[in-house]
Structure 1
Amino acid sequence: MPADSHDASGREGTLPAGGPGYPGHITVRPQALNTVARAVSAESLGVDPSQVTVTLRDDHGLLGLEVATPISMPDLGTIGPGHAGTTLLQRLDDAQNDIRTTTTRITGNQVGRVDIRVRGAHITEERRVPR
């Protein structure tokens, strides 16, 4: 995390508002960062935000995220034979990249490492399209 935002000790920092010549400061509280990261993670993995836990940490000056969550998976009985889908590891890799870029874009804090711990699967029924 940037030194001017929030550090691992729990201290809050301030950012200059609007750059030079503009008075004021912007304070981003850790709870706001956590809420954004939780919502982004939930959307990326297809689960409800209430099922996701995010821990913020310092990652060598960047915002590090530890995400614990179930992942949304299709019911294997509802997909047809020869269904070409992505692997679980590929989905998690894609989710890491999505969580990193989207959280950075929304919060303005550069996100470094994103660790995802899958703690279950949320099975969803996919509807087959009749032929």
Structure 2
Amino acid sequence: MSTVTDDPAGRESTLAADGAGYPGHITVRQRALTTVARAVTAESLGVDPGQVSVTLRDDSGLLGLDVVTPISIPDLDTVGAGYAGTTLLQRISDAQTVIRSGTTRITGNQVGRVDIRVRGAHIEQERRVPR
């Protein structure tokens, strides 16, 4: 299991290289952790990574994430009356799970709590297939 040293000065965190079969430590900088979490969040919610803000924090020894992001939604003028998409709350809950597991898988840091604050909506334009 990897461990993260939360350093308020913004210096790098050191992770133990458990189970890798190699002696020593792996160093992952805070900026790299933030970039990975932004990318995973953007992909899970269908927005551009530049629109996502992630703040790292200590969550009782785990990596905690505070996320501020818009969310993509379908254009309501193009969906039919019987559109049965998932609710906004369900999409956010699903995104929390994806962000937690994806960030853990990529960085090797165990992610705990993921708090998401939605700050807007990105309307998905109808895609046309060229003839």
- In structure 2, how many angstroms separate the alpha carbons of the residues matched to 1:94 and 1:20? 30
CA RMSD of aligned residues (A): 2.3
Which residue pairs with 2:117 in the alignment?
117
What letter corresponds to residue 76 of structure 1 in structure 2? Answer: L
Q: What are structure 2's unaligned runs of at least 5 residues? A: none
Percent identity between the two aligned chains: 74
CA positional deviation for 1:21: 7.1
**Is this contact kept in 2: 1:56–1:65, CA < 8 A?**
yes
For the structure 1 residues 22 and 104, does the alpha-carbon distance in structure 2 shift closer, same or farther, using more than 3 Å as the test? closer
**Is this contact kept in 2: 1:75–1:125, CA < 8 A?**
yes
Report how many aligned residue pairs link the two structures: 127
Equivalent positions of 1:93-104 (< 5 A) are 93-104=93-104
Secondary structure, in 3 states, of the residue corresponding to 2:77? helix
CA positional deviation for 1:17: 4.3
- In structure 2, how many angstroms separate the alpha carbons of the residues matched to 1:102 and 1:21? 23
Deviation digits for residues 62-101 of structure 1 (CA, Å, limit 9, x no counterpart): 0000000100010100001111110000000000010001
Secondary structure, in 3 states, of the residue corresponding to 1:77? coil
1:91 equivalent to 2:91? Answer yes
Equivalent positions of 1:28-107 (< 5 A) are 28-107=28-107
TM-score by length of 1: 0.86
Q: What are structure 1's unaligned runs of at least 5 residues? A: none
